[in-house]
Amino acid sequence: MSRGSNASTSRVARSKGVPFSKNPVLAVRLPVWRSRVVLFVLFFAFAALAGRAVWLQGVSTQFLQKQGEIRYARTLDLPATRGKITDRDGQVLASSVPVKAIWAIPDDVQNAPADKLKQLAKLLDMSNAELQKKLDSDRGFVYLKRQVEQDVADQILKLGIEGVQTRKEYKRFYPQGEVTTHVVGFTNVEDVGQESMELAQQKTLVGQPGSRRVIKDRLGHIVEDIESIREPHDGKDLTLSIDSKIQYIAFTQVKDAVEKFHAKAGAAVVLDVHTGEVLALANWPTYNPNDRSKLTGEQLRNRVMTDTFEPGSSLKPFTVGLALDEGRIKPHTMFDTGNGSMVIADRVIHDTHPHYMIDVQGIIQKSSNIGTSKIALGMPAQDMWEMFTKLGFGQQPKWGFPGAVAGRVRPYKSWRPIEQANMSFGQGISVSLIQLARAYTVYARNGDIIPLSFQKVHEAPHGTPVVSAKTAAEMREMLEMVTQPGGSAVKAQVPGYRVGGKTGTAQKVVGGRYSHTKYIGNFVGMAPMSDPRFIIAVMIDEPGGPVHVGGDVAGPVFSALAAQALRAKNIAPDSDLTHIIIPESAAQENM
């Protein structure tokens, strides 16, 4: 059909009123199967989409949510502030200050400009190589540095390095530094106590950290808070028994003595007679807990608590006190010490000077080994062992202080006479300085002994009887004679106060034998004698030069420490003595 005829047909159709859709020109014949195929394809596609939606939103919901959380949801720890440690008067000894931990996502940091990475390394106080080593980690998260000061962390964030972020944490600060470190201790980078009271009271101080769930983007930025899982609870504050004034006095006196006598080390401890509180505990050498980069084992050693030694003559008062309490002797009972030597089996016991006939008071004042040995050999070995046990020697301390040692007292059944004699004047038995100090509270407290405490005590503890009040009074009188002219510790006198105590000089054991060049000099005393308030024990380890006996190296430390401590606590003088009296021929104590 020609184009003209089609046009003519259309015109005819319009003239007859035929609809456009019935126009013969539009009439196209298609196979029925094609429309059915298209319909089936469309139905299948919609069915597949519906099935996929059901699978994702129904069956796989938990899996997909878990995968999303792995990629973007994070649980953030909310650190709790560690409790403060204060002295008995509220002066802060340890506190936590906010700092930042610098962390990074290595994959994101690798593309950072080299100049910014150099600035980052400088701010972190590390070399470029050290920083790159951390960033080469195959982990998705690495700490670059912990406990960074806030101002440094702010400078790091200003660099704008993608993938480098900060996290809030706390750093322990010790205001008194090396003065109190052997009492307070320190924590590690995770804020966990490592030494002394920081370790002993970890559960009390640390508190309970909190946590919250957040959504982070790929750069580590928090974009949404999901929930707060647990609120943080700060740790409890801890009040120690330590008196900061007395602690500083003890520290400086021990340090000065070690330097003066060119000693290896020194230590001192001050106890409150009424409560058993430890008012001061000092060691030298020591360390600064705020900077432990050069910490050594010698500095770390808490010699008051962890070092044991043979006390020497400072043990004699307990041998004599036992015999007095059992009624075997009286203060004026006489003993023949001969010309200064006594043979027991195949061994010889010496006094530094011949004392000949001497009473019990003289045995303590002059520190006679022979007189003490004769008193000891007049008693059963079991009685001496039980006395030592009641005093805490050889027993594991239960004072809540880590590292405290038990010392050593051998079973009495194995004692030979020479061993019993040696133990009576402090050889063959080992104790710590704080054990020795605590034992002297028996005579300061009218015969009973109380537990020690490193925390402030609000109620005086009940004591356990060891000797009678009469025996304790008699021993106080003898101990006071030790510091008076004619005694072995005249350098321990304190102007304005009556004091008493006992010296000890022990030969150190080297290679299984007693050394004739290495000694430990000690002195344990109480003040004031009219109403004892303090027990002060001092130990000087390996003093150099010719001066090494306890009365000469430890006695003066006691004198200076006691004088300042008594004045610091406003304890009234109880003596008219205004200056120390040291006769030219002052007696030297025995080993």
CA distance 298 to 318: 32
Q: Is 400 exposed, middle or buried (0-12, 13-18, 19+ CB in 10 A)?
A: middle
In a domain, 208, yes or no: yes
Same domain, 194 and 258: no
Helix (H) or strand (E) segment spanning residue 51: helix 32-54
In a domain, 581, yes or no: no
The answer to whether residues 169 and 250 belong to one domain is: no
373 is catalytic: no
pLDDT at 590: 42
Give per-residue pLDDT as tens, 100-142.
888 888 877 777 888 888 888 889 888 888 888 888 877 767 8
Which entry of 95, 96, 241, 313 is annotated as an active-site residue?
A: 313
Nearest Cα neighbor of 515 from 423, 588, 591 is: 591
The helix or strand, by DSSP H or E, that contains position 372, with its residue range, turns out to be: helix 369-377
Q: Share the mean pLDDT of the chain.
A: 87
Check residue 139 and give its pLDDT: 74
* Domain of residue 203, residue span: 75-239
> Mean pLDDT across the stretch 253-276?
97
- Res. 316: pLDDT tops 70: yes
Q: For 445, which DSSP code? A: T
* pLDDT > 90: percent of the chain: 59
* Of the candidates 436, 129, 469, 89, the residue with the CA atom closest to the CA atom of residue 269: 436
- Judgement on whether residues 126 and 264 belong to the same structural domain of the protein: no
Residues 174, 288: Cα–Cα separation, whole Å: 9
* DSSP three-state, residue 344: strand
Is 5 inside a domain boundary?
no
Q: What is the pLDDT of residue 4?
A: 53
Note whether 318 and 362 are same-domain residues: yes
Angstrom distance (rounded) from CA 376 to CA 6: 147
- Is residue 67 domain-resident? no
pTM for the full model? 0.82
Per-residue confidence band for 28, with pLDDT thresholds at 50, 70 and 90: low
Question: For residue 1, what pLDDT band results from cuts at 50, 70 and 90?
Answer: very low
The verdict on 333 and 234 lying in the same domain is no
**pLDDT band, residue 589 (cuts 50/70/90):** very low
- Structural domains counted in the chain: 2
Residues 202 and 319 in one domain: no
**Tokens 């008067």, located at residue:** 89
Q: Answer whether residue 460 shows pLDDT above 90.
A: no
271 contacts: CB under 8 Å, gap ≥ 6: 277, 278, 279, 437, 438, 441, 452, 534, 535, 536
The CATH number of the domain where 517 resides is what? Answer: 3.40.710.10
Decide if 580 contacts 490 (C-beta within 8 A).
Answer: yes
Residue 21 belongs to some domain of the structure: no
In a domain, 512, yes or no: yes
In a shared domain, residues 422 and 519: yes
* CATH number of the domain encompassing residue 159: 3.90.1310.10
Q: Are 216 and 276 in the same domain?
A: no
Give a three-class secondary structure readout of 525-576.
EEECCCCCCEEEEEEEECCCCCCCCHHHHCHHHHHHHHHHHHHHCCCCCCCC
For CA atoms 123, 124, 125, 128, the dihedral sign is negative
Report which of residues 207 and 223 the model is more confident about.
207
**Same structural domain, 219 and 272:** no
Q: Name the 3-class secondary structure at 223.
A: strand
Give the Cα separation of 553 and 258 in Å (integer): 9
Report CA dihedral (49, 50, 56, 58) to the nearest 10 degrees.
180
Is pLDDT of 9 > 60? Answer: no
Angle between helices 369-377 and 316-325 (to 10 degrees): 40
Are 490 and 441 within one domain? yes
